[in-house]
Chains A and B, each alone.
Chain A
Amino acid sequence: ETGVTQSPTHLIKTRGQQVTLRCSSQSGHNTVSWYQQALGQGPQFIFQYYREEENGRGNFPPRFSGLQFPNYSSELNVNALELDDSALYLCASSPAGTQTDTQYFGPGTRLTVL
């Protein structure tokens, strides 16, 4: 069984640019969540997708957007990058019918904005 994978592992962008991060969920999981983790902080919830629809959003501006595809993989898009967007971006998937907070995280994408 393949776990959650993310690409790329590292990325360097400049302020004002746009970035797309990708996530493949674990087999059998139809829910994907994205988190931003700044250095020394816990992960912060960005949004969640369930069956290709957004299913909850955290306190992030609209320039953070996402997609989920029919195979349940997902993308996180960030427009007009700011220096404070530098962080580890984590994707987590959870199985269908989950009743509790068990999510399976990928290794993350380290984004650096210069």
Chain B
Amino acid sequence: LAKTTQPISMDSYEGQEVNITCSHNNIATNDYITWYQQFPSQGPRFIIQGYKTKVTNEVASLFIPADRKSSTLSLPRVSLSDTAVYYCLVGGQAGGGNKLTFGTGTQLKVEL
């Protein structure tokens, strides 16, 4: 599975837009890009997934450039409750099953 690199931490204020960028230079042709959110002592929660261009759902947008070597998770108008760790994952269903490979993630802290 492709290795990902993302910032260790980010700080923001309520109401701001937050963009978290993830680098995945050796992404494979059949790999998807998936973002998870995790609160302390809880399991990760799926946020959004994409393959190319832009994907938007009710909580976030995912921007993927044409070369797919990076992706940006955009959280519009964050609130205190968005304080969490955000993980970028790259991969797809392989012969050995859907093994998710998590890095250390980005700790987002939202303040008033």
CB distance from B48 to the nearest CB of A (A): 10
Instruction: Provide the B10-50 mask, 1 if CB < 8 A to any CB of A, else 0.
Output: 00000000000000000000001010000001111110010
Interface size in chain A (residues, C-beta < 8 A) = 33
Complex CA–CA separation, A100 to B41 (angstroms):
25
List B contacts of A35 (CB < 8 A): 100, 102
Interface of B is mostly: loop
Interface of A is mostly: strand
If A43-B102, A101-B32, A107-B43 touch, whether A55 touches B96 (CB-CB below 8 Å) is: yes
Q: Determine which of A31, A42, A48 lies in contact with B87 in the assembled complex, contact meaning CB atoms within 8 Å.
A: A42
Question: Which positions in A face B, CB cutoff 8 Å?
Answer: 4, 31, 33, 35, 40-45, 48, 50, 55-58, 88, 90-92, 94, 98-108, 110
Complex CA–CA separation, A101 to B100 (angstroms):
7
CB distance from A5 to the nearest CB of B (A): 11
If A4-B43, A107-B43 touch, whether A99 touches B103 (CB-CB below 8 Å) is: no
Q: In the complex the two chains form, is A101's CB within 8 Å of B42's CB?
A: no
If A42-B87, A108-B42, A110-B41 touch, whether A100 touches B100 (CB-CB below 8 Å) is: no
